[in-house]
A = this chain, B = another copy of it.
Amino acid sequence: MSNSNLVAGSLAEAMAEAAAEIEEALDVLLPPVEGPEAVLAEAMRWGAMGGGKRLRGFLVMEGARQFGVARDAARRAAAAVEMLHAYSLIHDDLPCMDDDALRRGRPTVHVKFGEATAVLAGDALQAQAFAVLAAEETHSDPAVRAELAHRLALAAGPKGMCGGQMLDILAEAASEPLGEPEIARLQLLKTGRLIEFAAEAGAILGKAPWPLRHALAAYGRELGAAFQIADDLLDATATPEETGKATGKDAGAGKATLVGLWGVERARAQAERLAAQARTHLDSFGERADLLRQLADYTVSRRK
């Protein structure tokens, strides 16, 4: 018991440290600007900075640490993935999408800056994510930079995040609720592919051998699925005070979730199963992967 608390403590510390480093990197990579277009940079910073767990960025950095990647390179790639994620949240929150006014306890970008600026800030964050990954400062080997940009683009595009968001929109408008395979696919595309890429990015940066790179990607895929169920469990069971955002929204909006389909207990059991599976993909990694193992457990047990 005291041991598992210590372990949880060290994960929390490592995540907080990575989050602070990523915040610093974002501050450098998304500088405030002078002149009339200052508002765009401000909206980008509002959407990308100021918190969040930085799960995806942490995955990049922990994955990279397995292969001894320079911390600065890992931090840049982590910041790029968080920019991509932030853009998706800004667009998801738009009135024509989920119409959310609150994110991490703060007004969303379109509430604070207006709708047109929110669309642009999301667009510019996506471009900036690729600018960072493809820049020489991120890695001296252009093959690594091209591979990072290519994999991120696939994770973000029509067969990844955008495709999943499309399925989500269609599911809300559909007359019949989605079944299990449809929901699982929706979530794999909408959130899974980017989390998978985040886990794989460290291996790409470290030019890891294929089996290890694939193992990290598989870990990320299962972790992402567990994470999504846990997120939906929080929506169903936690309070806005705990999570810093509105809860109980999925049931109200008729959102397609496995929690809605299975109920809380079965969904929790499935999330735990997925987290355990995620851990098994790390079997060929040594002690250095312990934080990633703990992350799988934390993903399911977290309360925010």
- A residues with CB within 8 A of B: 33, 36-37, 39-41, 44, 87, 91, 94, 96-97, 114-117, 119-120, 122-124, 126-128, 130-131, 133-135, 141-143, 145-147, 149-150, 152-154, 156-158, 160-163, 165-167, 169-170, 182, 189
Contact = CB atoms under 8 A, between A and B. Distances in A.
A167 B37 contact: yes
How many chain copies?
2
Contact of A163 (B124, B146, B189): B124
A182 B87 CA distance: 28
A207 B13 CA distance: 47
A154 B132 CA distance: 9
Interface of A is mostly: helix
A3 B39 CA distance: 51
A157 B142 contact: no
Contact of A156 (B122, B127, B153, B160): B127
A231 to B, nearest CB: 21
B162 A40 contact: yes
A218 B161 CA distance: 37
Contacts of A141: 142
A6 to B, nearest CB: 42
Nearest to A151: B134
B91 A157 contact: no
A166 B114 CA distance: 12
Contact of A134 (B131, B153, B170): B153
A149 B127 contact: no
> What are the 8 A-B residue pairs with the smallest beta carbon separation, nearest first?
A127-B157, A131-B153, A134-B150, A124-B162, A96-B115, A142-B143, A145-B146, A130-B153
Nearest to A122: B123
A170 B116 CA distance: 10
A158 B124 contact: yes
A149 B160 CA distance: 19
Contacts of A162: 40, 120, 123-124, 127
A150 B167 contact: no
B44 A158 contact: yes
A91 B142 CA distance: 32
B124 A96 contact: no
Contacts of A126: 123, 126-127
Given A94-B119, A142-B142, A142-B143, A40 B124 contact: no
Contacts of A134: 134, 146-147, 149-150, 153
